[in-house]
Amino acid sequence: MRKVITNDMEKCVGCNRCIRVCPVEEANMAYMENGDAKVRVDNTKCIACGACLHACTHGSRLYEDDTERFFEDLRTGTPISLFCAPAGRANLKEWSKVLALLENMGVRKIYDVSLGADICTWGYIRYIQKNNPHSVITQPCPAIVSYILMHRNELLPYLSPVQSPMMCTAIYMRNYKGITDKIAAISPCIAKTNEFEESDGLVSYNITFNKLEEYIKRNNLMLPAQGRGYDHIDSSIGSIFSMPGGLKETVEFMIGRVLRIDRSEGQSTVYKALDAFCKENSANLPAIFDVLNCTEGCNLGTGCRHEKTVFEVNTAMENARQGSTKGREREYFEQLYEEYDKTLRLNDFIRNYRPAPVPRIRIDDNAVEEAFVKLGKYDEKNRAFDCGACGSDSCKEMAQKIAKKINTPENCIKLAHDIMKTEHATIMSWQKNNTETISTISADINGIKEMTDTIVTTVTGVDKLINLYDIVTKDIDKIASNVHMISINASIQAARAGDQGRSFAVVAEAIRGLADETQKATAKISNATIEAKNGLGAISKMVLTIGEDVAKSNNDVREIAERTHDLLRNS
């Protein structure tokens, strides 16, 4: 099966919207990359329902069709004819001129799928009348067919073998009109790519409305002044087949309300309805279960631009229905079916299905229990939290996906919240301890500041004492100088006195010696005083610097303490 849905992982933010809308549990793989959550599609299990395309708001999910290859083949002269879905009337701007443009570019024949829808409805009615099946699931929608072929093989006995309107159109073109060209489809559906791949080459191109308009705009193609119609007779009411309930209305228009026809549309409900169909008592099943992947049917399918409202689209389709029935009595449609009975072979429009079952990942209860432990869910209350943020409907489903290794515990918002709470409590505990430590540091710093203030005061006192001592020393030095002078005078007088003054001379000499020694001592004391003052000056300067640094540190610690208190108060 071709890869239809693609990923641009650079744009993926791991929001899980794609997981939430996907009807296939194992079609998405959630994982962590460099700390970021990512989700990629598993194309081996994807049914191309397109739900993720519209759910993804980041442009990570994309799709591929055959538009580029179709135009390239046209340019090289490949013979191509095509058919266009009825929804083209509502989705393509000036759709008849688009058809004319394609004809001008080389397309040879153009058919309306409304014709194939008429044949498809005729086929349903004749198949039921001939085989009288208990219940039939319709199959115009290829995403639903892929779901059954890949994931719900037990529904195969109920799946209608009548081909879809598009395939009925292609078979009619090839088998009844002799068209041997390659056949292209202009369609509203990305999953038609898979259906055409199963057609053994009958339909070669799936060109979606969205990609077609993008191509025309990107290449500046000018639409012709005049449009064109189709290369076949007018169809019946098949133009409404693509609307929700279109098959039901068409069948009841032709044969009345003789069959019970139930409906289900939209990815959020139709696949759950099919799952329920598997388990339902056969007595409760309808004759026809009309199912469509898209909520608004094919008219707003996965390959449409979605620029118009549902009311605009339904108005255009209602106008088409009125146009197909206006002026025509019931006999006209009965005669049309009689003509089909004469010219068409029912077996030509029967499909033989080729199941392609996808193995499911097997897990046991122990693996699920281990997953719950990884999620930090140990009791029933936490295991039934079921917020859905991970993309799963329940915590149990999330645990199953983790056990299957298609999701990761980091994708659980409850686990992330619990981890955050634990880390917050730890941080708050650290902050509390830090507050106590800061208080201790602040007290110690205050103590250091008091000590430095005491040192400064003490040093200042010592400096004053040294200054006083310096003054006293200078006074002593001055007295010593005077004594020295007096001793010299005494010696002179003693010398003049002769023998009577000798004893006095000895005393004067002794006094002069003492004065000299005193001067030498005061000189040493003066030098020591200078050194002491210099040392005290350095100590005083250093202590003042320490005091300033301690004061700054004290302010910083106080500010940190205040912020920490604020944090604790606000937590």
In this predicted structure, what is the pLDDT of residue 258?
Answer: 85
252 compared with 391, residue with greater pLDDT: 391
Question: CA 460 to CA 456: how far, in whole Å?
Answer: 6
Binned at pLDDT 50, 70 and 90, residue 542 comes out as low
The predicted model gives 161-188 an average pLDDT of 96
Question: CA 335 to CA 494: how far, in whole Å?
Answer: 174
How many residues in total does the chain contain?
Answer: 571
What three-state secondary structure class fits 454? helix
The predicted model gives 545-564 an average pLDDT of 67
Question: CA 367 to CA 370: how far, in whole Å?
Answer: 5
Strand partners, 44: none
Residues whose CB is less than 8 angstroms from the CB of residue 63 and which lie 6 or more positions away in sequence, other chains included: 4, 5, 6, 48, 50, 53, 190, 208, 302, 303
Question: CA 208 to CA 192: how far, in whole Å?
Answer: 9
Domains of the chain, first to last:
1-63 (3.30.70.3270), 65-349 (no CATH), 365-411 (no CATH), 415-570 (1.10.287.950)
Residue 81: its H or E element: strand 80-84
In this predicted structure, what is the pLDDT of residue 493?
Answer: 66
Burial class (CB in 10 A: 0-12, 13-18, 19+), 211: buried
pTM of the model: 0.75
In this predicted structure, what is the pLDDT of residue 403?
Answer: 94
Query: Which of the residue ranges 296-310, 322-336, 497-511 would you say has the lowest mean pLDDT?
Result: 497-511
Question: CA 257 to CA 19: how far, in whole Å?
Answer: 40
Cβ atoms within 10 A of the Cβ of 494, count? 19
In this predicted structure, what is the pLDDT of residue 206?
Answer: 98
Please determine, for residue 436, whether its predicted confidence score (pLDDT) is greater than 90. Answer: no
Which residue in 22, 13, 19, 20 sits closest to 58, CA to CA?
A: 13
546 compared with 74, residue with greater pLDDT: 74
Binned at pLDDT 50, 70 and 90, residue 435 comes out as low
Sort residue 349 into left (φ over 0), alpha (ψ -120 to 50) or beta.
alpha
The percent of residues in the chain predicted with pLDDT above 70, rounded, is 74
In this predicted structure, what is the pLDDT of residue 189?
Answer: 95
In this predicted structure, what is the pLDDT of residue 173?
Answer: 96
Q: What is the pLDDT of residues 321-332, one digit of tens each?
A: 666 666 666 677
Which 8-state DSSP code applies to residue 411?
G
In this predicted structure, what is the pLDDT of residue 336?
Answer: 82
In this predicted structure, what is the pLDDT of residue 321?
Answer: 64
Query: Which of the residue ranges 24-28, 79-83, 544-548 would you say has the lowest mean pLDDT?
Result: 544-548
Please determine, for residue 508, whether its predicted confidence score (pLDDT) is greater than 70. Answer: no
Question: CA 209 to CA 93: how far, in whole Å?
Answer: 10
Q: Report the C-alpha dihedral over residues 429, 432, 433, 436, rounded to 10 degrees.
A: -170
Burial class (CB in 10 A: 0-12, 13-18, 19+), 305: middle
In this predicted structure, what is the pLDDT of residue 414?
Answer: 85
The predicted model gives 245-255 an average pLDDT of 75
In this predicted structure, what is the pLDDT of residue 280?
Answer: 92
Which three-class secondary structure string do you get for 308-360? Answer: CCHHHHHHHHHHHHHHHHCCCCHHHHHHHHHHHHHHCCHHHHECCCCCCCCCC
Q: What is the pLDDT of residues 265-277, one digit of tens each?
A: 999 899 999 999 9
Query: Which of the residue ranges 286-300, 443-457, 501-515 would you say has the lowest mean pLDDT?
Result: 501-515
Q: Are β-strands 36-41 and 28-33 bridged in parallel, bridged antiparallel, or unpaired?
A: antiparallel
Please determine, for residue 568, whether its predicted confidence score (pLDDT) is greater than 60. Answer: no
Query: Which of the residue ranges 154-158, 222-226, 388-392 would you say has the lowest mean pLDDT?
Result: 388-392
* Mean pLDDT over each residue of the chain, to the nearest integer: 84
Binned at pLDDT 50, 70 and 90, residue 233 comes out as low
Please determine, for residue 248, whether its predicted confidence score (pLDDT) is greater than 90. Answer: no
Strand partners, 208: 187
The predicted model gives 103-122 an average pLDDT of 93
Query: Which of the residue ranges 167-176, 364-373, 479-488 would you say has the lowest mean pLDDT?
Result: 479-488
In this predicted structure, what is the pLDDT of residue 223?
Answer: 96
The percent of residues in the chain predicted with pLDDT above 90, rounded, is 53
Please determine, for residue 169, whether its predicted confidence score (pLDDT) is greater than 90. Answer: yes
Binned at pLDDT 50, 70 and 90, residue 241 comes out as low
Question: CA 442 to CA 17: how far, in whole Å?
Answer: 53
25 compared with 90, residue with greater pLDDT: 25
Please determine, for residue 218, whether its predicted confidence score (pLDDT) is greater than 70. Answer: yes
228 compared with 550, residue with greater pLDDT: 228
Please determine, for residue 366, whether its predicted confidence score (pLDDT) is greater than 80. Answer: yes
In this predicted structure, what is the pLDDT of residue 485?
Answer: 66
Question: CA 261 to CA 155: how far, in whole Å?
Answer: 17
In this predicted structure, what is the pLDDT of residue 184?
Answer: 98
